[in-house]
Every structure is written in C-alpha cells, then in structure tokens.
Amino acid sequence: MHSFFDINYKEAFTISELCDQMDVRGKSLREIYRLMIEELNEEGKLLFAQGKYQVDTGLRYRTGRVEHTNKNFAFVVLDDAKPDEPDVYVPTDNLNSAMDGDQVRISIWKGSKRSGYRPEGEVQEVLHRTRQEVVGTFEQMSPKYGFVYPDNRRIYTNFFIRSEDFNGVEDGQKVIAEITKFPVEGQRAEGRVKTVLGNAGDNNTEMHAILAEFGLPNEFPEHITAAAEAIPEKITPKEVKKRRDFRPITTFTIDPADAKDFDDALSIEYLENGNIRVGVHIADVTHYIQPGTELEKEAYARATSVYLVDRTVPMLPEKLSNNLCSLRPNEDKLTFSAVFELDDKARIINEWFGRTIIHSDKRFSYEEAQELLEAELTESETPATPEATDKPKGRKRKVEATVNFQKDLHVLNDLAKTLRAERFRKGAVNFETVEVKFRLDENGKPLDVYQKVRKDAHKLIEEFMLLANKRVAEFVFNLKKDEPRNTMVYRIHEAPDKDRLKTFADFALRFGYQVNVEGNIASSLNRMMTAVEGKPEQNLIENLAVRTMAKARYSTEEIGHFGLAFAHYSHFTSPIRRYPDMMAHRLLQHYLDGGNSENRNEYEGRCKHSSEREKMAAEAERASIKYKQVEFMQSHQGEVFDGMVSGVTEFGLFVEIKETASEGMIRLSDLKDDYYDLDAANFRLVGQNSGRIINFGDNVRVKVKEANLSRRIIDLELLGILTTGESPRLKPIPSSGNRGGNRGGGNRNRKPSSSSPRDKNRNSSSRKKR
C-alpha cells in the first residue's frame, strides 16, 4: 500500500477511491484496508485533509524566486527560507512558463535521486514577471519572421518576432525586445523589437547590451541632467559659517589614476600632546540632493554606480559626480566628516562627526602614493615644523612640498597598519581576492589582461574608510541606550553557513590546508590564507573561500559584520556612488540635530532595494569582464596554457587559465579516452574503464579550442594533467583509439549539482565590497 502512495505522491484519495484503485472487493476486506490506512495516518505516514488521504511527501506551498541555472532544471530560492534550508529543485517541465528571476508560488515535496534528494517542486502560479524585455541577437529567418536569441544564459527560450515588429532591425544586430507573449503550454514565446542597439561584436553595442540585460540605465534622462546643471556651484559665506573649517589643514586624496570622482579625502594634524588628528572627509552629496527632488528619485532608483570594464555608469549626473561633489585639488569643497584624535597606538582619544569644508592640497594616484611610501624617509628630510605660507583670503596653509606629504603618508600608513593588525586580532577575515583589469585600445578591444595588486597605499585608504564606517555606526547605535534603537542603515554580513563551510573545508583539505569549522572560524581561515599565499592554488582557494561566505547586504538590523569582525558597521564613505551612504549621512545628521528615530520599515525597504541593485550591478560587471576575457582569448585560439581545474560538473570541467585569470570549459564529450562519471562527493571525475581521475584543483595543460563571444564561453581541450612541484611533469591523456568518447555529455546519472560552490553563491564579485 505504501508503494501505491509513493507512486501517486501528488494525489489524494478517499478510502473508497483507494479501494477501487487497488481493486479491493468485499465489505470485510475494505474494512481491513480502512483500518490500515487510519493506522498509517496515526503513524504520520499519511496526511488526512478534506476527507482524503495522501502520502506525507512534505508537500507545502511556498513562494520564491526562480533561478534557471540549467536548461533541464531550475532552483527556486524560497522567500522565507531558513538559514540552512536548501533551494527547491524544479524540472523545466514543471516551471509552468516561469522564467529566471520570476516570483512564483510552488508546491514542494520530498526530493528524489534526480534532485540530489533536495526538495522538489512545481510552479503553481507566476506571481510577478521580473522582466518584460529581453536583450539578444536578432536572426531573420524569412521576410515574414525572425527570432531573438537572448544573451542571458539563464533564458532558454527564443522569441518569435513578426515582420511588422522588426522595427528596422537587420539580421545579426543586438536588440532589446519587448516580451508580448510568454511561453505557455507549449506555445512559443513572442516579442517585438523595441530598440536596436547596434551590430553584434561592436564594443559600445555589447556594453549597452550588458547594461540592458541587467535592467541598468545607460544614460540620464534630459530632465535629470538639467536639474543637476541648475545647481549653483558657488559656496556661500552663510553655508561656510555652518561648518567646521578644515581648509587650513593639510588634506589630500588617493584614488586610481583614471578616477574622476573623488568622494573621500584625508587630513592630518600633529597635536601638541603628541597625538595625531586624522580627518576622514566625505563628499557632502546630501547637501546638493534634497529629499523628494527628481535627482533624489533618480539616485534611489539607480542606488549604485556601475563599473564595466571600459566605463563607469554613475549614480549621479556628471555635474555632481565629477564636479560639485568631487573633492578635486585646490578647490573648496563641502564635506561630511569623521574626525579622530589617535595616539601612537592608533587608539581613539576623541572623535567628532559633522559637516565641514575642506581644501585638498594634493591629488595622489595610488601609484604616486605608493612610491612615496616605498621611498626611504630620513630624519634630515623631515622638518620639525610644517612650513607655511599665506594663501588667498589670508589663510595659513601648508606649502605643497613632497617631503611633507611623504612624512604624512608614512605616519598615516603606520597608523593604518596598527588598525589593520587590531582588526585581525579581533577576528577579521583576511580575504584578498584577485581583481582582473584590462588594457584596451581606442575601440575597446583588450590588448592585455592583468591582475591588480593591492599595496600599502590601497590598504591605507581602506583602513581609514573602515574606521569611519565603523565609528559612525557605533555612534548612532549608542545614542539611544534602550530598545528599539535609533534606525540606521547598516552593512551586515552573517557568519558562514556551517554546511557550506564544511564543504569548503573539504576542498581546502585536498590541498593540505585545514579549516576548523567548529572553533574560531575567522582565525582558522586566516591561518589558511597565510599558508596558501604564493602557492599556485592561492587564487582558486581564496575565491572559493569568498564564495563560501554569506553575501554582505544593507539592513536596519544591527547584527554586525562577520568578515570585518565589527559589531556595528555602516557605509558612510562613498555617497557619490552608493545610495545607502546618502541614507547614512541623512540619518547621522538627523540624530546630531537631536531628531527622534526614523521609520524603520521605510528604511528597510530602501535597504533591500539597494542590495538588489548592488547585486545586479555586480553581475553586469562580471558579465563585462567575462566578455572581455573571451574577446581577449579569441586572439589566442590554438595556443596552449597552464591552468587549474576550478570546478567539475556532470557535463564538463571548468579550468581557470593562470596567465589570464580566464575560465573556460572542457566538455566531457571532448574527452575521448574514456567515459567519465561525476563523483560529486569527492569533487572529481572518474573514468569508467581506466579508473583515471581528474580532481578539482588539478594543474592541467589546455589548448584554447574556441572563444565564442556570442555565448561568452571559452572552449578548451585537455592536453594533460600536471603534477605540482619544482619540476612539473606532464601526464598525457591517452589518444582516443576506438573508444569514441562521451556521447551526450558523459555522466548518465545526471545530478543537479557541481563539485564546487559555483551554484551555491552566484553573487560573488572580484571588487572589494565591505
């Protein structure tokens, strides 16, 4: 009887229907079956509702968001998921026309082998369509119709376009198509061309397509630009009187060489008591953008600047981001500041927060600042007292002399190193992920790819920004001693999930690194990061560690930041490019003025919106990097590279090419020496006949078969497996002989899983986002 219910797990039956289904005849026998069914119900093996019995499959109705990660299946991320609750596996046939990103209502039951025994489900209803448009390439099939093939690799439907909806598009061009009909019950999806972006392969076209794909704007509406242009540039004496004047104090910025928006500056004063006063000065964006204005609405809608490989799409119009709010040298600028008096141990003796006016003496690039930090500083070169001169308006200012700035940088760097060491002592995690950069020609074509190296100049600025963000959050939290505390926008980061951490620990152990998942996790991770530094697997291990961590987000909940080991942390230091920083500025000033706590629910909604926009911007950034990596590798087709296996799946191997930090795929169907099965538990592929093993983390030699820009995929050929050591030797893969390779992608017992955390954290980004 239990087998009958297992087979018909989706259906419910009355006792009479059950007896008919199982051909039970006779009053006595039916009574025996009734008692058996009631006993199963009492044991909890059957559910009884509305007069019918059904096997307890764990069937529940929940809501969530679709992530269509594979053409054969999707996952639904539950809205109310518990921290350790898995996503729900949904076969494509059960999606009921839902597409990636859609909000849906699903029925859920216990999983089976095909889902890896995670819960399975079926979409009952699409509650909200995330996208009404799709970006892709148009292919004209006849004068009467064509198709748009989406760029988004999570959309597996092509859209039928009638000739009257071509809108002037030509074959092979990139377009934005409005979806006019979603695929329902076998009917094809339809659309109409809304915007022609240009020819596929053109740099501007492709970058615009990436922005459109993730619903990100490409330019500002005319009325927004006009509103920004109308803002007066002159700072009035009345405004100056409202602020603490830091213009006489030595002040400078340190930013990338190609930066145009300088939203933070540092000032330094040497006090008579031997302490150092450091000012962290942030562009006062909220002075210029008032609540309720069109500029405010646009900033909120965007919520963040977007950084593609070849361009920045700013949150604020250029008049604000590159002019009024940019802390350019030799100009008076309005700022919001966090000022700290520090002793020689970097302990805070006094602190002050408020609105200020500054005058930056120098604009350093990171490279220029690093040169001064690396140059030797001798006693004879360091004046006992700063040299001064009269500036306009009679102000005393420090003469711009390299030797003085060099001393200031060295002093600040020593303080920053002390602050950094204290963070790690208290449990901060030392993650140093690789940031990929490109050298482009005038047409956006990548000429070179390299990895950005973070040196002391970067870390100096980062440490003082972290200090300001931390102390602002603590200040607001401690203003009100009783609950509920004052509403504040926090940057929060939960501790990693234990199961995911254990998975990562298993990965690390294969390289000989131990991670203690039960004790002090941060200390254990830091020890591993120190041990892996300089090793061939460093980049791989560090990236997997980052993917294992929870994603930092914005919230009014003050639950702390695990990665930084801060009990309270906010984002205060980049209001030119982040809307949450604007919220933090407004809230801080409101409380400094003696205001009561603001509406928490309202700010929580803004935090959620900001987190979602940040995620989309990060995905667009990764898409642009991937596109340029593939474009760069097009000129290296047929060449041989060394790499490392960065993921193994049921359909192939992912390999990260060390020289270019590009990731490509070796398809199982291209491995001709044997049939390979995925051993997911051990993160490897195993040959069915030879027993040959290809492990996650193996060093390999590969040849670039094809770099396909339209699919943003690099196809690789495996030449051999390299052993590690001082003299790596090649273990050649045998020739195909008569075996014929893998037909249809290899593993016949397909599993919706990968042997790396690739599918568990789809939000990772190379850019540091504390």
Backbone phi and psi for residue 32, each to the nearest 5 degrees, phi listed first: -65, -45
User: Which residues, 6+ apart, have CB-to-CB distance to 527 below 8 Å?
Assistant: none
pLDDT, position 753: 41
| β 189-199/159-162 pair status | parallel
pLDDT, position 600: 96
Q: Answer whether residue 472 shows pLDDT above 50.
A: yes
DSSP per residue, 560-597: -BTTTTBSS----S-TTTBHHHHHHHHHHHHHHTTPPP
pLDDT-derived band at 58 (thresholds 50, 70, 90) equals low
Q: CA-CA distances (angstroms) from residue 131 to 101, 102, 145, 516? A: 8, 8, 23, 43
Question: Between the CA atoms of 384, 385, 388 and 393, what dihedral angle is there, to the nearest 10 degrees?
Answer: 160
Partners of 280 in beta bridges: 266, 338
Q: CA-CA distances (angstroms) from residue 718 to 21, 230, 702, 731? A: 55, 60, 5, 11
> Rg of the chain over CA atoms, in angstroms?
30
Could you read off the pLDDT of 146-186 as tens digits, one per residue? 999 999 888 999 999 999 999 999 999 999 999 999 988 77
pLDDT, position 402: 44
Choose among 464, 458, 460, 440: nearest CA to 450: 440
pLDDT-derived band at 1 (thresholds 50, 70, 90) equals low
pLDDT-derived band at 393 (thresholds 50, 70, 90) equals very low
Could you read off the pLDDT of 645-676 as tens digits, one per residue? 988 888 889 999 988 889 999 999 899 889 99
Partners of 55 in beta bridges: 46
Instruction: Count CB neighbours of 477 within 10 A.
Output: 17
Q: 615 burial class (0-12, 13-18, 19+ CB within 10 angstroms)?
A: middle
Average pLDDT of the chain to the nearest whole number: 86
Higher local confidence (pLDDT), 600 or 14 = 600
Could you read off the pLDDT of 481-525 as tens digits, one per residue? 899 999 999 999 998 888 888 888 888 887 888 888 887 888 888
Could you read off the pLDDT of 184-216 as tens digits, one per residue? 877 899 999 999 999 998 999 999 999 999 989
pLDDT, position 59: 57
pLDDT, position 27: 81
The answer to whether the pTM exceeds 0.85 is no
Higher local confidence (pLDDT), 540 or 359 = 359
pLDDT, position 432: 72
DSSP 3-state assignment of 95? Answer: coil
Could you read off the pLDDT of 221-244 as tens digits, one per residue? 999 999 999 999 999 999 999 999
Could you read off the pLDDT of 548-558 as tens digits, one per residue? 888 899 999 99
Q: What is the mean pLDDT of residues 307-324?
A: 96
Q: Which amino acid is at 478?
A: N
Q: CA-CA distances (angstroms) from residue 59 to 9, 93, 120, 233, 543? A: 9, 18, 9, 63, 37
Return left, alpha or beta for 440; rule: phi > 0 is left, psi -120 to 50 is alpha, else beta: beta
